[in-house]
Amino acid sequence: MRGQIQENQYQLNQVMERQKQIMLQLGSLNNGGAAQPAAGDQSGAATAATSAPDAGTATSGAPVQSGDANTDYNAAIALVQDKSRQDDAIVAFQNFIKKYPDSTYQPNANYWLGQLNYNKGKKDDAAYYFASVVKNYPKSPKAADAMYKVGVIMQDKGDTAKAKAVYQQVINKYPGTDGAKQAQKRLNAM
């Protein structure tokens, strides 16, 4: 029994450490990525598509999955960091969400798919993935930012009424979060 508890604590510590790394990576992408929107507004969002975007076909450079969720997730993150392999990162994350439906990394993988698609200008696909984080993982640390980005996509598309409604939802549902603070800034500027 004690061994199982120690194993669970070790795994929990690994997950927490990985989450810290992801947050740092997101921060660096959001603050300095060439494909990012204007400073302070690293978002993407629009009405959510009704079906999942097409996964497309993997290019020959796409990573081979290992069969281990942590390894495959880390491989996809590594592709995100290589600006020349963003398409491969999309494929890797799409494969990840299909292969590991019960992984604790599901909210992050969907969030990354939203961000990567937004960076490529695929706003409907981005909105689908951001909305899936909010719908399927509403208690995830990514949910507030994902909902905020749906509002940004709506605003980008010129639907200010829906954007305002989404921003207000972020503020009400996730008060005090970075997503809520960004939503309030957007509302104040409208």
Tell me the pLDDT tens digit for each residue of 36-80: 333 333 333 333 333 344 444 333 445 555 568 989 999 999 999
The per-residue pLDDT for 95 is 94
Structure tokens at 47: 């009405």
pTM over 0.75: no
What domains are there in the chain, each with its CATH number? 2-189 (1.25.40.10)
pLDDT at residue number 83: 87
Of residues 71 and 26, more confidently modeled: 71
> Are 51 and 75 in contact, with CB atoms under 8 Å apart?
no
For residue 117, give both structure tokens: 């698609």
Rounded distance, CA 21 to CA 24, Å?
A: 5
HSE-CB at 133 with a 13 A cutoff on CA atoms is 29
Of residues 56 and 173, more confidence is placed in 173
**Share above pLDDT 90 across residues of the chain, in percent, rounded to a whole number:** 61
Any residues with CB less than 8 A from the CB of 103 and at least 6 apart, and which?
A: 69, 73, 96, 109
How far apart CA 160 and CA 13 sit, in angstroms, is: 42
Residue 25 has pLDDT above 70, yes or no: no
pLDDT tens track for 138-151:
999 999 999 999 99
Mean pLDDT, the chain, whole residue set: 78
Tokens of 75: 């491989």
